[in-house]
Structure 1
Amino acid sequence: MPTAMQATQGALAGVVVLDLSRVLAGPYAAQHLADFGATVVKIENPRDPDVARGFPPYLRAGDREFSAYYAQYNRGKRGLALDLATAEGKQTLKDLVVNADVLIENFRPGTMERLGLGYDVLAGINPRLVYTAISGYGHTGSRSRRPAFDNTAQAAGGLWSMNGVSGEQPVRVGVTIGDLSASLYGVIGTLTALRHAEQTGRGQFVDVAQVDSVIALTETAVVDYTVAGRVAAPAGNAHAWVRPYELFPCADGQVFFGGYTDKLWRESCELFGTPEAASDPEIDTMQKRFDEEAYERRVKPLIVSWFAGKGRAELEKLAGDRIPLTAVKTIAEVVDEPETQRREMVVDADYGDLGSLRMFGQPVKLSHTPAVPDRRANEVGEHNEAVLSELAGYSHERIKELRSAGVIAGA
């Protein structure tokens, strides 16, 4: 019979996750597990809680404020404020590990070992523990202990050098793709190891590096270099070799058009009133249209003429289900788009007097055990009593002692 702490629904109901991570690479991984029903305990240092709590924008009510950034990546978690620098704090974590299935941390490699809480120690307490460590360079290699941020991963993983406008200075990807990708690979690794632990009773160490995660997102760049000797460089809105597959201007903005296969090219030529272009011997095959000179001289000007004078909505309606053509939208347009609402990709969480927080939803849709993303995030140490009593078996008196000693703080 699950306790109140574990009484969640979803595919991961009953799975207990200890989340020691901060900011994004790690919290986002744990957030996905929470969305699908895992009991996730956010463990923060009471003297130095997650720095993301100070990131804008904020929900505000009078003198109170709550970071919407923090809320989006820590929704549905339980809060425990625990000082791991103290002997009692270390023992408390060990007592929680006894009944945990997963631990996620994103400290620099060596930090948990210095605290006496490394994988070997915790696995000795609970052999089935899945210990997921997300870091900049990973836990092996000469660079493992270097400090790292998202931009570190974009730079060291090669992605930064590939992104931007041709002939100009490279530009970082506009979101923290190093953090985000490491979190998503962290989820994959965690669930894979959890499956093995459920079958064998043996957990394992899951080592995910931001740099590795970025390298795995560089698409054809690695094989382009190893096979053909080509070094990827910024190409603006164009694909490295697939054509047409880029941004095109229209009357009220831009659209993406990707009719590069022979079938799609024929459909497009017919749709836009130039059916003869589909059989033009200079551009009648996909391989010929991939040729950069032929593309720039013949194909691209033709497409520009198709879209001239037409608006984004008109072009999308015209394309319909026949060809891949999509308006380039602002985030405001995306949030207000009816289809975004139908797909539940913007959800509302109730923060009481602070109001309602609209944030992105869960992109993975399960038919029988759907995610529950519309939940608020924890205050620092909000669930100390419930976590320690139900997951560690502590008495009220023991919890009071820890609070008096400053080992825990908050509720």
Structure 2
Amino acid sequence: MTQRPRGALEGVRIVDLTQMLAGPYCTMMLADQGADVIKVEPIEGDSTRTGGPFREDDNLRAFGGYFASVNRNKRSIGLDLKTAEGRDLLIRLVQNADAVVENFRAGVMERLGLSYERLREKNPRLVYVSIRGFGDPRTGRSPYTHWPAYDPVAQAMGGIMGITGPDAETPLKVGPGVGDLVPAMMAAYGLVCAVLRARGTGEGQYVDVSMVDSILATCERIVYQRSLQGVNPHPEGNRHPLLAPFGMVRARDGWVTIAAHTDEFWKELCIAMGRDDLLGHPGMLDRQSRVDNKDAVYEAVESFTIRHTKGELKELLGGKIPFGPVYHIDEIAADPHFATRDMIVEVEHPGCAKPLSIAGIPIRMTRTPGSIRRRAPLLGEDTDDILEGIGCAPSDVSRYKQTGVVR
């Protein structure tokens, strides 16, 4: 019997020089789909290894939940790129790779003598991906090229904070680090596109992803609103500016979301609420009238939902209209949907007697489903195998370790 591939990207090798969230999440997505991701860490390790959170019974503390979540399925080597031998080893790794991913500030790799142009000389089919706050000068020099940036900076300048908040005057940071996660997804997409082309033409290329640009692309609605309507969009609270009802309303024990903006779904909602009178209401007859009178629409809906629990509303509305209760993680863990879809996965965690739960893979493929095959690596856990794979003799590996070039 032919063994099923680990994933659609089996046979693709990626040298991962990233830290924090955006870069590691990008390469995690690729590793989940079967790519061989070699995580090249500083000799002291990725800075997020020590950041926690840690379980109380963790007697090793090799890495916390943050690192574990976004570095599964990868191999690790500690490498000192400040040494000539360390840089030479990286070049040897790149010669056998399809792609390199890094998220340093602009100019760092050039100062190390490891620029895209240098690496391309060694491997013309190399795809080189960078994730930076404001992009790389190679594709368009921003006045902020050398500014450091993290998630809240990208959220702020990319526009998502400016349309998120409880009222028009109060911007709000989105809970998860979308300023990192969205660029990570864009970078993974760009990498796969470029590798596909390189395999057909033999020519690699530079893939430049800006965190701020990625957030603006996610907020595409504000661009055409300004162009078509001449408006400067502001936060809309828990409502949609162009649809109603399309947002969040209170339940007796929390909140639920309802998206019954079409005439068909509005009718179903009115019937479920026992409010046939609303179907003939002059301010709610069609989609635009419901937007124009959204306060009255939401007041009518919430007067119904506030009398019921989330569970009751799920029974009354689920499957009839687009509806979902606002969940916290305990409710997510108890819902059979996420169990059926393997969206909470347990992995071994060094130093702990019990496994660690991490988020699963949302991309489902029938032939090459991908998988979480192994936990995040210990620092340098795969150094010997990785170096032997590029032709280093065991004696060389031992010498590199003794001199601190590798770990």
The two structures have a TM-score, normalised by structure 1, of: 0.94
For 1:266-281, what aligned pairs fall within 5 Å after superposition?
266-281=267-282
Q: Distance in 2 between matches of 1:330 and 1:62?
A: 25
- Cα deviation, 1:106-145, whole Å, max 9, x if unaligned, reads 0001110110101011011001111110111000222111
Cα deviation for residue 240 of structure 1 reads 1.8
Q: Are the structure 2 counterparts of residues 137 and 319 from structure 1 closer, same or farther at C-alpha, using a change threshold of 3 Å? A: same
For 1:9-88, what aligned pairs fall within 5 Å after superposition?
9-47=6-44, 49-59=45-55, 61=57, 63-65=59-61, 66-88=63-85
Q: Are the structure 2 counterparts of residues 352 and 94 from structure 1 closer, same or farther at C-alpha, using a change threshold of 3 Å? A: closer
**What is aligned with 1:254?**
255
Which aligned runs of 4 or more in structure 1 are off by greater than 6 angstroms? Answer: none
Unmatched segments (≥5 aa) in structure 2: none
Q: Distance in 2 between matches of 1:62 and 1:246?
A: 41
**What is aligned with 2:336?**
338
- Cα deviation, 1:282-305, whole Å, max 9, x if unaligned, reads 3111111110xx221x32222122
Q: Distance in 2 between matches of 1:116 and 1:60?
A: 43
**What is aligned with 1:3?**
none
Unmatched segments (≥5 aa) in structure 1: 1-6
**What is aligned with 2:125?**
128
Paired letter, 1:303: V
Percent of aligned positions that are identical: 36
- Cα deviation, 1:167-220, whole Å, max 9, x if unaligned, reads 443111111111000100001000000110111111111000100111011141
- Cα deviation, 1:7-66, whole Å, max 9, x if unaligned, reads 97221111111100001111001001111111111101103x211112221145464113
> Which piece of structure 1 moves more, 207-216 or 159-168?
159-168
- In the alignment, is the contact (CA less than 8 A) between 1:8 and 1:38 conserved in 2? no
**What is aligned with 1:217?**
218
Q: Are the structure 2 counterparts of residues 374 and 61 from structure 1 closer, same or farther at C-alpha, using a change threshold of 3 Å? A: farther
- In the alignment, is the contact (CA less than 8 A) between 1:26 and 1:106 conserved in 2? yes
- Cα deviation, 1:351-390, whole Å, max 9, x if unaligned, reads 2541301010000011111121252001111111100101
**What is aligned with 2:235?**
234
How many residues in Structure 1 have an aligned counterpart in Structure 2? 398
Q: Distance in 2 between matches of 1:117 and 1:336?
A: 48
- In the alignment, is the contact (CA less than 8 A) between 1:127 and 1:201 conserved in 2? yes
Paired letter, 1:206: V
Q: Distance in 2 between matches of 1:408 and 1:24?
A: 24
**What is aligned with 1:177?**
178
Q: Distance in 2 between matches of 1:228 and 1:400?
A: 67
Cα deviation for residue 336 of structure 1 reads 2.5
- In the alignment, is the contact (CA less than 8 A) between 2:8 and 2:33 conserved in 1? yes
Q: Distance in 2 between matches of 1:263 and 1:299?
A: 15
**What is aligned with 2:135?**
138
Secondary structure at the residue paired with 2:119? helix
**What is aligned with 2:299?**
301
> Which piece of structure 1 moves more, 274-283 or 330-339?
274-283
Paired letter, 2:49: R
- Cα deviation, 1:48-87, whole Å, max 9, x if unaligned, reads x211112221145464113111011000111100001100
Q: Distance in 1 between matches of 2:373 and 2:255?
A: 33
Paired letter, 1:357: L
- In the alignment, is the contact (CA less than 8 A) between 2:32 and 2:370 conserved in 1? yes
The two structures have a TM-score, normalised by structure 2, of: 0.94
- In the alignment, is the contact (CA less than 8 A) between 1:130 and 1:204 conserved in 2? yes
**What is aligned with 2:320?**
322
